[in-house]
């Protein structure tokens, strides 16, 4: 079988979720460091976003599409279930993670906290405005994982794999720790998933 190639940067939460899926399925893959908007990425993704994938003659963009392809194409446990309801529930939580959790944690909180003009400093108003929305997201996820310890059913699915890199990043910030500390089920969930070999094996190098 052709080599599976994932293109992107290791610190991207979506690149990490795809890599975690590969690790959980026991798939050998190649990570090709590629930045957003680079020519090789734009050749696959019309918006130049990461991750993108190559597998033989197949190219794909958007992490959920890549995850579905990997889960259906390669042997190993399924992380997008065959059961119709559970499949829909995975889609539901992946969509929520991408539209709400990624937006408020990664785009509106982490990015302005880390990437900013050093002559001006962080956009504190933007960061502060994100915190109530992050609190809402964490409460919703806390309620969702409380019954079984997972977002869908009682086992690990791509819904969990998709969201845990975002939540673990939140813990790098005091305000994020304070929010998660109020969500006991979600805190236990993040701690448990962060102990998975797939999570540890895909940890990006510390940023300088």
CB 52 within 8 A of CB 63: no
Alpha-carbon torsion (14, 186, 140, 77), positive or negative: positive
3-state secondary structure at position 34: coil
Picking from 153, 187, 205, 202, the residue whose alpha carbon sits closest to that of residue 31 is 202
d(CA 141, CA 135): 10
d(CA 83, CA 162): 19
CB 71 within 8 A of CB 21: yes
Confidence grade of residue 208 (pLDDT, cut at 50, 70, 90): low
- pLDDT tens-digit map of 170-185: 999 999 999 999 999 9
Question: What are the two backbone dihedrals, phi and then psi, of residue 126, each rounded to the nearest 5 degrees?
Answer: -65, -40
Amino acid 2: pLDDT: 87
Complete domains list, the chain, with CATH: 4-73 (3.40.30.10), 84-201 (1.20.1050.10)
Amino acid 207: pLDDT: 64
pLDDT average, residue stretch 151-157? 97
Question: What are the two backbone dihedrals, phi and then psi, of residue 61, each rounded to the nearest 5 degrees?
Answer: -130, 165
CB 203 within 8 A of CB 50: no
3-state secondary structure at position 32: strand
pLDDT average, residue stretch 95-119? 91
d(CA 139, CA 137): 5
| Angular region, 47: left φ>0, alpha ψ -120 to 50, beta rest | alpha
Question: What are the two backbone dihedrals, phi and then psi, of residue 32, each rounded to the nearest 5 degrees?
Answer: -100, 110
pLDDT average, residue stretch 2-15? 96
CB 130 within 8 A of CB 109: yes
Two structure tokens written together for 72: 């259906």
pLDDT average, residue stretch 119-147? 94
Residue with tokens 């975002």: 166
Q: Note the pTM of the prediction, 2 decimals.
A: 0.95
Residue 72 has pLDDT above 80, yes or no: yes
Amino acid 120: pLDDT: 78
């Amino acid at each position: 079988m052709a080599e599976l190639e994932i293109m992107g940067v290791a610190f991207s939460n979506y690149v990490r979720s795809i890599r975690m899926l590969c690790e959980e399925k026991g798939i050998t893959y190649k990570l090709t460091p590629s930045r957003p908007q680079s020519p090789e990425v734009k050749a696959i993704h019309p918006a130049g976003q990461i991750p993108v994938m190559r597998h033989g003659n197949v190219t794909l963009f958007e992490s959920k599409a890549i995850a579905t392809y990997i889960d259906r194409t390669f042997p190993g446990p399924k992380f997008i279930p065959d059961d119709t309801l559970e499949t829909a529930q995975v889609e539901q939580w992946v969509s929520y993670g991408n539209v709400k959790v990624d937006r408020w944690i990664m785009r509106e909180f982490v990015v302005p906290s880390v990437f900013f003009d050093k002559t001006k400093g962080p956009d504190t108003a933007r960061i502060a405005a994100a915190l109530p929305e992050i609190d809402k997201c964490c409460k919703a996820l806390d309620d969702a994982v409380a019954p079984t310890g997972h977002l869908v059913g009682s086992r690990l699915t791509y819904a969990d794999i998709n969201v845990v890199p975002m939540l673990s990043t939140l813990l790098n910030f005091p305000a994020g720790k304070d929010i998660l500390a109020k969500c006991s089920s979600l805190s236990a969930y993040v701690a448990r998933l962060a102990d998975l070999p797939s999570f540890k094996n895909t940890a990006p190098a510390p940023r300088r």
